Amino acid sequence: MEIKEIISYYIHEKARTLEVSFTLISDSEDEVRNDIISISEAEDFGYKLIQDDFDIFEEEDFEFEDDDEFESIDEETLISYLNEYYIVNSNKLPKPELF
């Protein structure tokens, strides 16, 4: 079990969760896996996924529908975390879905 690619991710700051879509090396090209993971679980593993000082947009240039600020995650760090998370919690690995 190894993460091949992060398809997408979104941080729900208020709920302190990470919504992520990814594929495993063993998945076919038509499959994707989706999961929602608590940010506190990543912190328990020693990962700081949210980059606090990432600010590439001026507030006046970009408006968001909710009060969440734009957050960035280093994808290599995210892949490392997910690989470790699903090795320890293999029962939480989501089933593949058709893309």
User: Which tens digit of pLDDT belongs to each residue from 24-68?
Assistant: 999 999 999 999 999 999 999 999 887 655 454 555 554 545 444
In a domain, 54, yes or no: yes
Task: Give the DSSP letter string of 14-68.
Answer: TTTEEEEEEEETTS-TTEEEEEEEEHHHHHHTT---SBTT---S-TTT---SSSP
Q: How many CA atoms lie within 13 A of 62 on its CB side?
A: 10
Nearest to 23 by CA among 35, 7, 37: 7
pLDDT at 92 > cutoff 90? yes
Q: What is the mean pLDDT of the chain?
A: 85
Query: Residue 11: which domain range?
Result: 1-61
Q: How many CA atoms lie within 13 A of 54 on its CB side?
A: 10
In a domain, 12, yes or no: yes
The amino acid at 75:
E
Rg for the chain (alpha carbons), in Å?
Answer: 14
Name the domain count of the chain: 1
Distance CA 74, CA 95 (A): 24
pLDDT digits (tens, 9 = 90+) for 41-52: 999 999 988 765
- Residue 8, classed as helix, strand or coil, is strand
The amino acid at 51:
Q
